[in-house]
Structure 1
Amino acid sequence: MTADVNAAAAACPHPPKAGGCPVDHSSKAACPADSGLNAELMRAAGHAAGVTVNGARLSTARAVSPIPKGDFTPAHQSGTEDKWEYPSEDMYFKAMKRKGWAPDAQQMKTIVAIHNTVNEQSWREVLKWESFHPTKEPVKLKKFMGKPTEYSPKAKIMNTIGWSVLPFDRHDWIVDRDGKEVRYVIDFYSGQPEPGRPLSVYLDVRPALDSVEGVVDRLRWQFHEKVMPLLPFKGALFGGDSAKTPAEASAPANEQSGHSKVTPKTN
């Protein structure tokens, strides 16, 4: 399942170098909003005073995401919310400085907005898959891991046969489904630049093939998306409009069939 996220920049805080993202995503992270900065964000969270740049103080306000958090609360989270908290402009700026980058304070609002938008779109794509599995309790994002140098088998195959470039980043999200851990793989691709248009970030979100259930879910999605629309009896087979998955049936028109486009809000 893929999604097209239009943004003023990619999920990475800087333009890609040599086809890749300069952010080090190799360390494990518990927060879905780290872009490889998780350890630095934890240190930045311990400093209450905001950075002042050119007489203007970066915001220390943190937005609360719509992504439900599991029982574990890492140090950079306040512990007062049942949803993941995004880093503030100040935290992101400090984290980037500690990583040795030269962030532009004037761009922090846009960078944080892009970062948040990509995470929220990724979660929406996860929920589309999760619609195959009704639960007693709402699913939660338990933990998160960045694996930029560990290309998924799908990404490597697509690149080998010439259908796609390699993704600039990969995340693994662990979802809590009624106490059961379910892993999702997210590949991030940079879209082709178009004059006068914001940069596109394509998300390929799907369940990992580490269980029979994950394999079955992928087959179910392909059947619903590719096969069912071609069958004359598609509506009668499952008692409804089976050309759509359960999630697509209630999704907005621009988010059906696993494709969606969003623009980050910067104010």
Structure 2
Amino acid sequence: MSHIDNNNSVDNTDDIAKCPVSEEARLEWLKQNKSNTTKNNNNNSLLSSVREISGIPRTGQNDKNWVYPSEQQFYDAMKRKQINSNGNELDMKTVIPIHNNVNERVWKYIESWENFKPNNQDDDNSNKLSLTSFKGDSKKITPRAWIRHYIFGMDLPFDRHDWIVNHSTQKNSYNIDYVIDFYMNSNNGVYLDVRPKINSYQGIKRRILKYFGY
């Protein structure tokens, strides 16, 4: 993802380069949508350069949201990172919609954890939720995923992301680290395990409140 002004677009190559999913994630998503991939691979049209504005506000950028890379930018970034060796450029027509939808779902989970209603961002300027930064590391297993797999025999996630989220209120502003494990559910597609890390007071507080149903 990169950011875009609602009036003036901004092309940030560094942000785009961070955005492509891992090879493992791409292959899982393509397997999930095999029929769509077959249909798209028979289409000789060029990759689109259109970029979709996300529903995720960017920290420190008033009236700007993160924006997803286009099909062409996503493919070019994957080539630069050398994670598309087994792929086909028209795979992007399948990967991009899933990638964007999954990120939007992650944000909805974070809003739920923060007990945040999006309309508040328009009605009350003192209450804002925004994404500061993100990174992916499919090779780094979270403690929860490790326990689920090596003790209870469950599948390992195919990807892992770490997001830093800023929550500003009238009284203060603070960052909260979130971790997301991505699992493939044969019935419901991508299953997301989104939760705040317990590396800060705010993260611990939210875990405790969630445990007691708040």
Q: Which residue of 1 aligns with 2:181?
A: 187
Decide which of 141, 162, 168 is 2:131's aligned counterpart: 141
Change in Cα spacing, 1:207 to 1:30, as seen in structure 2 (3 Å) is: farther
Give SS of 1:189's match. strand
Question: Hey, what's the Cα distance between the residues in 2 that align with 1:139 and 1:107?
Answer: 33
TM-score by length of 1: 0.56
- Alignment deviations for residues 210-253 of structure 1 (CA, whole Å, 9 cap, x no partner): 013312211211221xxxxxxxxxxxxxxxxxxxx5xxxxxxxx
**Structure 1 segments unaligned to the other structure (5+ residues):** 1-28, 38-52, 73-79, 225-244, 246-267
| Equivalence map 1:92-103=2 (5 Å) | 92-98=74-80, 99=82, 100-103=84-87
Q: Does residue 116 of the first structure (1) align with residue 105 of the second (2)?
A: no
| Equivalence map 1:21-170=2 (5 Å) | 33-36=19-22, 56-71=45-60, 82-98=64-80, 99=82, 100-131=84-115, 136-170=126-160
Q: Looking at secondary structure, tell me which structure has more helix per residue.
A: 2
Give me the identity figure in percent. Answer: 37
**Structure 2 segments unaligned to the other structure (5+ residues):** 1-13, 24-41
Question: Hey, what's the Cα distance between the residues in 1 that align with 2:189 and 2:43?
Answer: 31
TM-score by length of 2: 0.69
Paired residue total: 170
How far the C-alpha of 1:35 sits from its partner, in A, is 1.7
Residue type of the partner of 1:87? P
Question: Hey, what's the Cα distance between the residues in 1 that align with 2:210 and 2:176?
Answer: 17
Say which structure, 1 or 2, has more relative contact order (CA 8 Å, 6+ apart).
Answer: 1
Question: Hey, what's the Cα distance between the residues in 2 that align with 1:156 and 1:214?
Answer: 20
Residue type of the partner of 1:158? R
Change in Cα spacing, 1:30 to 1:186, as seen in structure 2 (3 Å) is: farther
Question: Hey, what's the Cα distance between the residues in 2 that align with 1:67 and 1:165?
Answer: 30
Change in Cα spacing, 1:217 to 1:118, as seen in structure 2 (3 Å) is: same
Question: Hey, what's the Cα distance between the residues in 2 that align with 1:104 and 1:30?
Answer: 23
Decide which of 196, 201, 210 is 2:199's aligned counterpart: 210
| Equivalence map 1:250-265=2 (5 Å) | none
Change in Cα spacing, 1:125 to 1:88, as seen in structure 2 (3 Å) is: same
Give SS of 2:162's match. strand
